[in-house]
Structure 1
Amino acid sequence: MGAYVKDEIRQRGILLDELRDQLTAGTISIGGAVKRLRTDVTGLRQEQFAAMCKISLRTLRQIEQDDGNPTFQTLNAVFRPFGMQVGIVPLRRG
């Protein structure tokens, strides 16, 4: 594996870790995270990404705009390609 490919994989891993931390901390919305994953990790257009996740383009647009009311199944379909799923996490007290 070339140095460029290894660097790309490392950069994507860093981005995934950052987004997971931001989601957990509540500093990024689900829609914002999905859009960053789609654009920064996959580089796909909305149409391509929706087809890959087997959801409608309208649903993806609503998710990215933090609109609508997606099911856990739909959100999991969007996050699954990145090794993530929707879950319950404890509230941070502070």
Structure 2
Amino acid sequence: MDKRFTPLAPVDQVQKRQAVIATIRQNPDWTIHQISRYIRTELRLTLPEMAKICKVSIQTLQKIEAEQGNPTLQTVEKILKPFGFKLQIVYAKDNQ
């Protein structure tokens, strides 16, 4: 946990995680860059902590969050899976 913040009580941690999940679900148009950064900052994780949880390198995570990376589908899955998400392809009908 980022040392700039006071640790949350276990109940507060669960509530925070649920709020993060709800926010991401309400924003299906977010990119992986936005999702990754949102999860990390809202859960008060440092880059090294998030990288360890997701089993990706710190540099990979930095590039993704800075919108400089072009992650593989496997890397995207590694970032999403520990937080209860999975990558899914959905057919969107044309608005014509």
Matching residue of 1:68: 69
Report deviation, 1:32. Answer: 1.2
Question: Please, what is the CA RMSD of the aligned residues?
Answer: 1.9
| Higher helix proportion (structure 1 or 2) | 1
Report deviation, 1:7. Answer: 4.7
Matching residue of 2:88: 87
Report deviation, 1:88. Answer: 0.3
Tell whether 2:31 aligns with 1:29: yes
Report deviation, 1:21. Answer: 2.3
Three-state SS of the structure 2 residue aligned to 1:88 is: coil
Matching residue of 1:14: 19
Write the distance in 1 (CA, Å) between the matches of 2:18 and 2:93.
Answer: 25
Tell me the percent identity: 30
Write the distance in 2 (CA, Å) between the matches of 1:8 and 1:14.
Answer: 10
Report deviation, 1:90. Answer: 2.4
Three-state SS of the structure 1 residue aligned to 2:74 is: helix
Write the distance in 1 (CA, Å) between the matches of 2:56 and 2:10.
Answer: 30
Write the distance in 2 (CA, Å) between the matches of 1:57 and 1:8.
Answer: 24
Letter aligned with residue 18 of structure 1? T
1:36-81 CA-to-partner distances (Å, cap 9, x unmatched) read 101212x211012112211111110111122221111111111111
* Normalised TM-score (structure 1): 0.76
Letter aligned with residue 16 of structure 1? I
Write the distance in 2 (CA, Å) between the matches of 1:20 and 1:9.
Answer: 17
Matching residue of 1:52: 53
Unaligned runs of 5+ in 2: 1-8
Write the distance in 1 (CA, Å) between the matches of 2:89 and 2:50.
Answer: 25
